[in-house]
């Protein structure tokens, strides 16, 4: 028996992660009736890094930052180490606390939060949509609600995308896995720095991506990602923990999940539905950064849905992808090329880490990360990097 009928919302947001919670908050603040449907409060594997621009743009309070990272260490296949100062700091959050806070903010803004598993979406003759879900607080009772618009923020391999968006079943993904361990006490591990992230560019830890050691205050995330289905995630993470001196650290939890490789070509159904976050594929290549892009995607999807409700013009939904790609499409394209080339072999990884010693590379990397746009103010630096990059490409520079 399905409980249905008459319960109506302006917007139904499927997925209560950073993207969906941001969309729900923005829409509820406009006075719209919003349902935020969260599946299970599952913690996604994530390094937890957020740039200053995210903290500013989305009003993230400082108490949610469990660490402030001042530098990043790149480790090459030959164990060469290059330390890069962040200039200011990179905030670190614990998704176990960060995501619930975002959902609570959406509720405080006026959204209604429910625990349920999205099942199907059905288009109605009156131009609305019917969404059915299993209510997890009522023993999986089937429930049907009606919405004027739907935002699919239900992660990689989105069920909303599969049902509603052309190409939604064909999104390529990698698998990310990490282990949250207890951080060493002061003096326990001379190689561990609670204000430094480590990025390990070694094929034994990932054949096509990288391994990471990201401190989160009293916890540390140790993990990696790969698109190789035959690669052992757990064995690689075990080896990375040993290399980082964390093999004896207490394991708190282990998590794994698919991560999309690139933005989908289409984010809307041309009627009522638009995607956001991992469901739309907005995870940065090469770096794997997703929280900022997820929250921005949620905001843009909310804007598009609100415009649809105001005008009745379904073309409004296309603005979410257009605005995102206009601002970040070039960066994603460049990062995709970087990943395909520099991460393809240990020989190239060695040269890539060597390039990171360059002051111009360091400056432009952190400026682009913290400000979320390509830095155009120093054309001479771009030119120097271009020619140095060519030297490495053709093997004319020493690793």
DSSP string, 249-261: SPEEEEEEEEEES
**pLDDT score at 398:** 52
8 A C-beta contact, residue 227 and residue 174: yes
pLDDT above 50 for 352: yes
8 A C-beta contact, residue 97 and residue 61: no
Going by pLDDT thresholds of 50, 70 and 90, the confidence category of residue 218 is very high
pLDDT digits (tens, 9 = 90+) for 142-172: 999 999 999 999 999 999 999 999 988 887 8
pLDDT digits (tens, 9 = 90+) for 21-39: 999 999 999 999 999 999 8
**pLDDT score at 388:** 46
**pLDDT score at 386:** 42
pLDDT above 80 for 375: no
**pLDDT score at 338:** 83
Going by pLDDT thresholds of 50, 70 and 90, the confidence category of residue 399 is low
pLDDT digits (tens, 9 = 90+) for 277-329: 999 999 888 888 889 999 999 999 999 999 999 999 999 999 999 999 999 99
Q: Angle at CA 42, nearest 5°, toward 36 and 317?
A: 40
CATH architecture designation of domain 68-93+172-260: 2-Layer Sandwich (3.30)
Average pLDDT over every residue of 214-219: 92
**pLDDT score at 13:** 98
Among 78-87, 205-214, 239-248, 371-380, name the one with the lowest average pLDDT.
371-380
pLDDT above 90 for 369: no
8 A C-beta contact, residue 45 and residue 223: yes
The CATH class given to the 8-44+96-171+262-332 domain equals alpha beta
Higher pLDDT, 254 or 140: 254
Going by pLDDT thresholds of 50, 70 and 90, the confidence category of residue 372 is low
Largest CA distance in the chain: 70
Which residue, 282, 22, 266, 11, is CA-closest to 161?
Answer: 266
**E strands along the chain, which residues?**
8-14, 34-38, 49-50, 67-75, 81-92, 112-123, 129-135, 141-152, 173-182, 196-200, 211-216, 219-226, 251-260, 273-275
Among 110-114, 148-152, 229-233, name the one with the lowest average pLDDT.
229-233
pLDDT above 50 for 396: no
Share of the chain above pLDDT 90, in %: 66
Three-state DSSP at 198 gives strand
List C-alpha distances in Å: 212 to 75, 132, 205, 226, 307: 10, 39, 9, 12, 40
**pLDDT score at 262:** 87
List C-alpha distances in Å: 265 to 165, 170, 284, 332: 10, 11, 15, 13
Higher pLDDT, 259 or 241: 241
Average pLDDT over every residue of 129-153: 94
Which residue, 247, 188, 187, 186, is CA-closest to 213?
Answer: 247
Q: Provide long-range contacts, Cβ within 8 A and 24+ apart, for 337-340.
A: 338/285, 338/286, 339/208, 339/209, 339/285, 339/286
- Provide the whole-model pTM: 0.90
pLDDT above 60 for 381: no
Q: Which residue has the tokens 């999309």?
A: 260
Q: How far apart are CA 308 and CA 155, in angstroms?
A: 23
Q: Which residue has the tokens 């200039």?
A: 87
Instruction: Write down the domain spans for the chain.
Output: 8-44+96-171+262-332, 68-93+172-260, 344-393
């Amino acid at each position: 028996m399905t409980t249905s009928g008459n319960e109506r919302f302006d917007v139904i947001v499927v997925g209560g992660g950073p993207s969906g919670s941001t969309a729900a908050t923005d829409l509820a603040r406009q006075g719209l009736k919003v349902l935020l449907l969260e599946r299970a409060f599952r913690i996604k594997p994530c390094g937890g890094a957020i740039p200053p621009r995210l903290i500013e743009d989305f009003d993230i309070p400082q108490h949610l930052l469990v660490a402030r990272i001042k530098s990043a260490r790149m480790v090459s296949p030959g164990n060469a180490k290059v330390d890069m100062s962040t200039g200011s700091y990179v905030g670190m959050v614990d998704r176990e606390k960060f995501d619930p806070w975002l959902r609570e903010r959406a509720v405080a803004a006026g959204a209604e939060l429910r625990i349920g598993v999205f099942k199907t979406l059905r288009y109605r003759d009156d131009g609305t949509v019917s969404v059915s879900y299993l209510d997890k607080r009522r023993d999986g009772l089937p429930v049907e609600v009606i919405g004027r618009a739907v935002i699919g923020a239900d992660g990689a391999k989105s069920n909303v995308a599969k049902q509603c968006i052309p190409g939604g079943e064909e999104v390529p993904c990698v698998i990310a896995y990490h282990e949250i361990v207890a951080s060493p006490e002061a003096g326990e591990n001379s190689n561990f720095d609670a204000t430094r992230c480590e990025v390990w560019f070694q094929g034994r830890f990932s054949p096509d991506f990288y391994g990471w050691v990201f401190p989160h205050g009293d916890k540390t995330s140790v993990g990696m990602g790969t698109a190789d289905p035959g690669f052992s995630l757990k064995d690689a993470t075990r080896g990375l923990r040993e290399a980082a001196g964390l093999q004896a650290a207490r394991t708190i939890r282990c998590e794994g999940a698919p991560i999309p490789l690139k933005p989908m070509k289409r984010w809307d159904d041309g009627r009522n539905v638009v995607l956001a976050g991992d469901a739309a594929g907005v995870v940065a290549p090469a770096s794997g950064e997703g929280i900022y892009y997820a929250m921005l995607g949620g905001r843009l999807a909310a804007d598009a849905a609100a415009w649809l409700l105001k005008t009745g013009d379904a073309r409004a939904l296309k603005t979410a992808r257009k605005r995102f790609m206009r601002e970040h499409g070039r960066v994603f394209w460049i990062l995709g090329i970087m990943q395909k080339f520099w991460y393809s072999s240990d020989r190239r990884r060695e040269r890539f880490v060597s390039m990171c010693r360059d002051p111009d590379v360091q400056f432009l990397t952190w400026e682009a990360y913290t400000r979320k746009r390509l830095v155009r103010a120093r054309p001479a630096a771009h030119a120097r990097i271009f020619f140095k990059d060519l030297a490495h490409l053709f093997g004319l520079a020493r690793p």
